Amino acid sequence: EEKLQADNEYPLLDAHKVQHASFVKAVNELKDMLDEEEGPSEAFVEAVKKNIVEWLLNHICVWDKQVAQFIKEK
Ligand SMILES: [Fe+2]
């Protein structure tokens, strides 16, 4: 996705990369949490919902949609 943005000279690429990096960080933190708790606790499930599910919905509906619109208009 980042390559697609770069290839199309998307002006918000750097900000978009920051969004992706924060997602990767959240996934790594959840992995650590899962390892430390030796299984999915209630807190872990809540953290997945907040940091993964909600993030993905927002990111796709807002950030990725803007990319699609930019490329479509180009
Ligand atoms: Fe994205």
Ligand 1 centroid distance, CA of 43 (Å): 26
Q: What is the DSSP letter of 9?
A: T
* pLDDT by residue, tens only, the chain of 74 residues: 999 999 999 999 999 999 999 999 999 999 999 889 878 889 899 999 999 999 999 999 999 999 999 999 99
At residue 39, the pLDDT reads 80
Ligand 1 centroid distance, CA of 32 (Å): 24
State how far the Cα of 18 lies from the Cα of 21, in Å rounded to an integer: 5
State how far the Cα of 42 lies from the Cα of 37, in Å rounded to an integer: 11
SS3 4: helix
Ligand 1 centroid distance, CA of 9 (Å): 15
- Contacts of residue 17, defined as CB under 8 A and 6 or more positions apart, other chains included, come to 2
At residue 25, the pLDDT reads 96
Reading the block at residue 58, the tokens are 């927002």
**Domains of the chain, residue spans:** 2-73
At residue 45, the pLDDT reads 92
